[in-house]
Amino acid sequence: MSKSLLLKTILVLILVLAVVGGYHAFYFIERLDKEITERFDGKKWQLPTIVYARPLELYPTMNLSPELFEKELQLADYRKENPVTAPGGYWRDASHFTLTTRDFHFPGGVERSTKLQIIFNGNRIDSLRSPETGKELSFIRLDPAKIGSFHPQIHEDRLVLRSPEIPHLLRQGLMAIEDKDFNSHLGVSPMAIARALTANITAGKTVQGGSTLTQQLVKNLFLDPERTLSRKLTEAIMAILLELRYSKDEILTAYVNEIFLGQDGARAIHGFALASQFYFHMALEDISVGQMATLIGMVKGPSAYDPRRHPDNCRNRRDLVLRLLWQDNLLSQSEYKSALSESIYDIDQQRNGLNRFPAYLDLVRMQLLSEYQKEDLQGNGFKILTNLNPQIQWQIEKSLSDTAATLSNSGKNKELQGAVVITGRENGEVLGLAGGTNPLASGFNRAIDANRPIGSLVKPAVFLTALERGYTLASPLSDTAIHIEDGDSGWSPQNYDKKEHGRTPLYLALAKSYNLATVRLGMDLELENVISTLKELGCTVPLRPYPSLLLGSIDMSPLQVSQLYQTLASGGFHLPLRSIQSVITPDNKLLTRYGLKVEQRFSPPVIQLLTHGLERVVSEGTGSSYPFSSNHSYAGKTGTSDGLRDSWFAGFSSAYLAVVWMGRDDNKPTSLTGASGALRVWGNIMERLDSDAGAPATSLSQDIVWARISTDNHHENSARQYRSTLLPFIVGTEPNQNTATRQSTATGINMKVIEDGARNIFKTLNDLFQ
């Protein structure tokens, strides 16, 4: 081949390669450009949904101890400092508190930051005052504690800032430390590369990088951490494309929100706004010069310069940043010296509320997923305001954990577990929930997922069915042996004490939880009617008309049991249980409000009769073993499944409804009945929550009258013999309407109150002589 032909061939090949290479390069660049614009013009980040507890509302005379108040402040991530310099700070001097609340957008509008002085007198708020004006305040609502978040799969978290919200020092400081040529380069800075190369050769190691802020943003937003020449080339091309498409301000704003600045367990801390809260418990605009320099310095290596784990490294890096800022005239001499004297990290280590209550978050997630797609909850940055009351939640956790630990000393009670649900009696708000004895454990949530036989907790539904059909609390029942044929086999239930008690009034059969009387009553009423009552109460599990249903052969979770008893506690009105108050969008617009939904299912006078029967359970029946204070009155029911595998108590006071379950996850027997296990937890919780509570039935219907009956023959007893008791009746159903002992609730004298007082006196005397 001649030289000229060879030269032509080579030129043709070069031309072909150039065309092919250019073609592929063009489409490669076009693909990168499309990826950049789709990300930048669309939603740059998947923002987690943040879940909040109920806001703490304060007013003079409120019952609240200084210790609990401080615990609530710490849960809400308030920092302890003296003096209080910015929102989110507080200081305590014995019973005096000084604090500055933070702005918060509630569904009804924004609650602005407020400076407060709060003085306690014992366990009560004595006064609320503005320290600026000295004016007494009648009410204040604090910003609520963050108790959890629902993250995208990448588990990144950030608070997104708009350009005007970026502090001037941060903007100028990033350029001074990370990219001096930011305002003049086109994504890649040859001068920065040359400076870094010179510094690294002089030091004999890598001490400085040549990447611009734009390249760092590209690396974080679009690329993996692989360190190859091709990836570096891609990074440079994308940086140039980004600069051609978007302004410097847009790029810097994205950088401030994207940069990785630390790790909180599985949660990655991105952006300066969240890092400021994470490390210093302050909003970015409120942190000091020294703290701002600390964050800027951490860009180089968040782990190596973590102020909590490596304070010496962090201090050296911060001081270097401060010196460079001063040399660039971004700080005055006095600002520089003052910042150098700051402690590197003087924030008390305290556990805030974030993901502190995993069991309650399970309930929030479950209720949200009934209305929202999972993707919406994990990426749109919603704010969820819940009904969680931290003070109630702490009491639940302590009582369950302590009681389970005490009971576990018995051989059969090893590995004892439990669950608790507490709601507001009048509104169905779920105020606290424990899914196990370890409050921090996630996974199997027994309050929601443990479906266990409910035992005698079903009996109020049987007796309610009877009361609706004309029975009274004095109606005689037969507590005698019964055999029910069921196909080829039969069923012969027994009482817990293996005895028969003969003729007994309805209220006593309920109070003593007599199985034989309950089964006979339920069969007389017909099973389908009892099932109808259970459904009206709120039961959603499948129910089969088997006689064993009358003794609780129904598997339900504590949450499902709570829904049943909520209808009883609220006077016959069905209230769906609610863990959520409202859902708010990232721009603080109300998306959904979860208001009160009420549907009357039962007659209030009939429910009042049943409530009295449930009060008798606690005062003289299967729940009487717990030493309740004499000035409290509660209504509830014990429940125990076959083989002592499940211990239950469900009941209510004037303010709260609580359901407690105890048992073993492997379904092995324990030594616990409902009274010896669950009731101990229930009583411990309710006595502490309800220190000011009275009787659950605080106001009786005008359709109710009281009459005294003999406990021997269950008829009217006008002589008020020793063996007699007062019972409520619906007007017209009392044994003898003409007797002088009948007391209407409309009269000035309530014999029930007098009798209860006398009973309490005798009980107190009896306790003294025991």
Q: Given the DSSP bridges, would you call strands 383-386 and 49-52 parallel, antiparallel or unpaired? A: parallel
Encoding tokens for residue 24? 């592929």
Name every residue whose Cβ is closer than 8 Å to that of residue 733 and which is 6 or more positions away in sequence: 470, 472
Q: Which pLDDT score, from 0 to 100, does residue 357 have?
A: 93
Q: Which pLDDT score, from 0 to 100, does residue 21 have?
A: 60
Our measurement of the distance from residue 528's CA atom to the centroid of its chain's CA atoms, rounded to an integer in Å, reads 38
| Cis bond before residue 586 (omega within 30° of 0) | no
In the three-class reduction of DSSP (H, G, I as helix; E, B as strand; rest coil), residue 310 is classed as: coil
CA distance 524 to 381: 56
CA distance 740 to 71: 56
Q: Given the DSSP bridges, would you call strands 489-491 and 416-424 parallel, antiparallel or unpaired? A: unpaired
Mean pLDDT lowest among 124-128, 229-233, 346-350, 742-746: 742-746
CA distance 342 to 322: 12
Our measurement of the distance from residue 21's CA atom to the centroid of its chain's CA atoms, rounded to an integer in Å, reads 58
Average pLDDT over residues 548-554: 95
Q: Which pLDDT score, from 0 to 100, does residue 658 have?
A: 98
Average pLDDT over residues 340-352: 73
Closest listed residue to residue 645, CA positions, set 417, 492, 421:
417
Helix (H) or strand (E) holding 298: helix 289-298
CA distance 239 to 220: 12
Mean pLDDT lowest among 257-271, 493-507, 609-623, 746-760: 746-760
Q: Which pLDDT score, from 0 to 100, does residue 751 have?
A: 44
At 158, the amino acid letter reads R
Q: What is the DSSP string of 638-652?
A: EEE-GGG-EEEEEEE
Our measurement of the distance from residue 351's CA atom to the centroid of its chain's CA atoms, rounded to an integer in Å, reads 15
CA atoms within 13 A on the CB side of 589: 3
Give pLDDT tens digits for 84-107: 989 999 999 999 999 999 999 999
CA atoms 739, 744, 746, 748: torsion sign: positive
Q: Which pLDDT score, from 0 to 100, does residue 741 have?
A: 41
Contacts 24+ apart (CB under 8 A), 315-321: 315/344, 318/290, 318/293, 318/294, 318/344, 321/173, 321/177, 321/293, 321/294, 321/296, 321/297
Residue 146, number of CB atoms within 10 A of its CB: 20
CA distance 345 to 98: 22
Contact 22, 335 (CB under 8 A): no
Give pLDDT tens digits for 28-83: 777 777 777 877 776 667 788 899 999 999 999 999 999 999 999 999 999 999 99
Average pLDDT over residues 275-304: 92
Q: What is the DSSP string of 598-619?
A: -EE-S-HHHHHHHHHHHHHHHH
Q: Which pLDDT score, from 0 to 100, does residue 125 have?
A: 97
Place 277 in a pLDDT band, splitting at 50, 70 and 90: confident
Q: Which pLDDT score, from 0 to 100, does residue 220 have?
A: 82
Residue 354, number of CB atoms within 10 A of its CB: 20
In the three-class reduction of DSSP (H, G, I as helix; E, B as strand; rest coil), residue 374 is classed as: helix
In the three-class reduction of DSSP (H, G, I as helix; E, B as strand; rest coil), residue 283 is classed as: coil
Give pLDDT tens digits for 592-608: 999 889 999 999 999 99
CA distance 394 to 432: 8
Q: What is the DSSP string of 452-489?
A: EE-GGGGHHHHHHHHHHTT--TT-EEEE----EEETTE
Give pLDDT tens digits for 384-412: 999 999 999 999 999 999 999 999 887 77
State yes or no: pLDDT of 695 exceeds 60: no
Closest listed residue to residue 661, CA positions, set 442, 408, 435:
435
3-class SS string, 15-73 = HHHHHHHHHHHHHHHHHHHHHHHHHHHCCCCCECEEEECCCCEECCCCECCHHHHHHHH
Encoding tokens for residue 658? 């609580």
Q: Which pLDDT score, from 0 to 100, does residue 748 have?
A: 37
CA distance 407 to 416: 8
Average pLDDT over residues 479-505: 91
Q: Find where tokens 């007699």 sit.
A: 724
Place 244 in a pLDDT band, splitting at 50, 70 and 90: confident
Contact 640, 456 (CB under 8 A): yes
Name every residue whose Cβ is closer than 8 Å to that of residue 675 and which is 6 or more positions away in sequence: 622, 623, 625, 626, 638, 649
CA distance 281 to 81: 11
Q: CA triplet 6, 12, 17: central angle to 5 degrees? A: 125
The alpha carbon torsion through 598, 600, 604, 609 (nearest 10 deg) reads -100
At 247, the amino acid letter reads S
Give pLDDT tens digits for 633-680: 899 999 999 999 999 999 999 999 999 999 999 999 999 999 999 999
Helix (H) or strand (E) holding 149: strand 146-150
Contact 679, 707 (CB under 8 A): no
Q: Given the DSSP bridges, would you call strands 79-80 and 89-93 parallel, antiparallel or unpaired? A: parallel
Mean pLDDT lowest among 15-19, 220-224, 740-744: 740-744
CA distance 518 to 466: 10
Model confidence, pTM: 0.83
Closest listed residue to residue 699, CA positions, set 641, 745, 650:
745
Q: Which pLDDT score, from 0 to 100, does residue 267 have?
A: 80
Burial of 505 (0-12, 13-18, 19+ CB in 10 A): buried
State yes or no: pLDDT of 18 exceeds 70: no
Q: Given the DSSP bridges, would you call strands 115-120 and 96-100 parallel, antiparallel or unpaired? A: antiparallel
Active site residues: 178, 456
Place 195 in a pLDDT band, splitting at 50, 70 and 90: low
Encoding tokens for residue 85? 């310099």
Closest listed residue to residue 674, CA positions, set 652, 688, 695, 659:
659
Give pLDDT tens digits for 405-425: 999 887 778 889 999 999 999
Name every residue whose Cβ is closer than 8 Å to that of residue 280 and which is 6 or more positions away in sequence: 79, 287, 291, 347
CA distance 715 to 717: 6
Question: What's the Cα-to-Cα distance from 559 to each of 425, 461, 635, rounded to whole Å?
Answer: 14, 17, 18
Task: Give the mean pLDDT of the chain.
Answer: 86
CA distance 70 to 214: 44
Instruction: Give the whole-number percent of the chain exceeding pLDDT 90.
Output: 63
State yes or no: pLDDT of 10 exceeds 80: no
Residues in the chain: 770
Residue 148: beta bridge partners? 51
Q: CA triplet 350, 352, 354: central angle to 5 degrees? A: 145
Q: Which pLDDT score, from 0 to 100, does residue 692 have?
A: 46
Contact 651, 683 (CB under 8 A): no
